[in-house]
Amino acid sequence: MAPARGAAPVKTFDQVTLRTGRLMLRPLREGDADALYTIFSDPRVMRYWSTTPWEAIEIAHDMIARDAEALAAGEHLRLGIERTSDGRLVGTCSIHNLVPTSRRAELGYALAADAWGDAIMNEALTALLDWAFSSLDLNRLEADVDPRNEPSVRCLERLGFRREGHLRERWVVAGEVSDSWLYGLLRREWEAACEGPGR
């Protein structure tokens, strides 16, 4: 059961595990390094990312180690998306850049290319948003997306995010300049959508 509005938000994230019909969202562990490297070294996954594809598995080991410290300190939350049917790690989702005084944070996510088209990310992010607005007592979540990344745009809009801004030439990755669309979702909008038909 979600905490009542105004309840004290959680302070650390290392014990957070969320379950859905097909997925388990859980902290990353050392055994995930190979799967993470497979996901983040894929140019298809990284096409609209803010960095180039990974070139060494050490990057995965570093991410797992940094996340363990950040989770224990309550600095940010990144969860692996594990498909329960086969135990495979197929992606990640995160709550980062937390601003506690404004009850605001940013949303991030990535999904293995061979898992696209199965509504996995929508399912994972629905659980994460429920948790963020209740257990973290957030009022607002934001997301930054490349306008050319149509599947990501559709995912955010299905979740109720609204496009609020267009930042021109915001990123330069490997010499390629790209814009950003900024999306926002308010807690009251999420709660109203959850109370509506079909949710």
Q: Tell me what the mean pLDDT of segment 70-77 comes to.
A: 94
CA distance 160 to 144: 15
Pairing mode, strands 104-111 and 88-99: antiparallel
Task: Return the percentage of the chain with pLDDT > 90, whole number.
Answer: 90
* Contacts of 170 by beta carbon, 8 Å cutoff, 6+ apart: 144, 178, 179, 180
Which pLDDT value is given to residue 4? 44
Report which of 20, 161, 10, 143 is spatially closest to residue 74, judged by C-alpha positions: 10
Question: Does position 136 have pLDDT exceeding 90, yes or no?
Answer: yes
183 found inside a domain: yes
Question: Does position 47 have pLDDT exceeding 70, yes or no?
Answer: yes
Mind giving me the DSSP string for 20-62? -SSEEEEE--GGGHHHHHHHHT-TTTTTTSSSPPP--THHHHH
11 found inside a domain: no
Number of domains making up the chain: 1
Q: Tell me what the mean pLDDT of segment 14-19 comes to.
A: 95
- Count of residues making up the chain: 199
CA distance 190 to 192: 5
5 found inside a domain: no
Q: Give the pLDDT band (50/70/90) at residue 197.
A: low
Which pLDDT value is given to residue 163? 98
Secondary structure of 174-199 in HEC code, one letter for each residue: CCEEEEEEEEEEEHHHHHHHHHCCCC
Mean confidence (pLDDT) of the chain: 93
* Distance between start and end Cα atoms, the chain: 16
Which pLDDT value is given to residue 108? 97
37 found inside a domain: yes
* Contacts of 168 by beta carbon, 8 Å cutoff, 6+ apart: 179
Q: What is the tens place of the pLDDT at every residue in 183-196?
A: 999 999 999 998 76
Q: Tell me what the mean pLDDT of segment 143-162 comes to.
A: 97
Pairing mode, strands 140-145 and 104-111: parallel
Integer CA distances (angstroms), 62 to 33, 36, 65, 93, in order:
9, 11, 5, 17
Which pLDDT value is given to residue 196? 63
Question: Does position 20 have pLDDT exceeding 50, yes or no?
Answer: yes
191 found inside a domain: yes
Report which of 48, 154, 165 is spatially closest to residue 110, judged by C-alpha positions: 48
> What is the domain extent for residue 64?
18-195
Q: Tell me what the mean pLDDT of segment 28-42 comes to.
A: 98
24 found inside a domain: yes
Report which of 77, 81, 73 is spatially closest to residue 35, judged by C-alpha positions: 81
CA distance 32 to 64: 8
CATH number, domain of 189, equals: 3.40.630.30
133 found inside a domain: yes
